Structure 1
């Protein structure tokens, strides 16, 4: 699965681990994240992420 990097703080969203603190289970692709999901580090929206 593809990883995505926050352009603001550098956080890497890894679909293999999801975002446990945000109740996003492992295996959730970036595209499947809800539109309301935000970077758990800086609060940036999905539009601030770039595929790496």
Structure 2
């Protein structure tokens, strides 16, 4: 699974880890995150991420 990086702050979304701050379990691909998901570090929108 591919990692994605926030172009605003550099946070890396790793599907193997998920995002416990927003109840995203490990194994969830970036593409499958809800549209309302935001960067847990800076609050940037999902569309401000690019493949790492």
Shorter chain as denominator, the TM-score bin is: over 0.9
Aligned to 2:51: 51
What's the secondary structure of 1:24's corresponding residue? coil
Residue 5 of structure 1 and its aligned partner are, at CA, apart by 0.1
Query: Structure 2, unaligned stretches of length 5 or more?
Result: none
TM-score with structure 2 setting the length: 0.98
Compute the displacement of 1:29 (Å). Answer: 0.2
User: What is the number of equivalent residue pairs in this alignment?
Assistant: 52
> TM-score normalized by structure 1?
0.98
Residue 10 of structure 1 and its aligned partner are, at CA, apart by: 0.1
Runs of 4+ in 1 over 2 A off after TM superposition: none
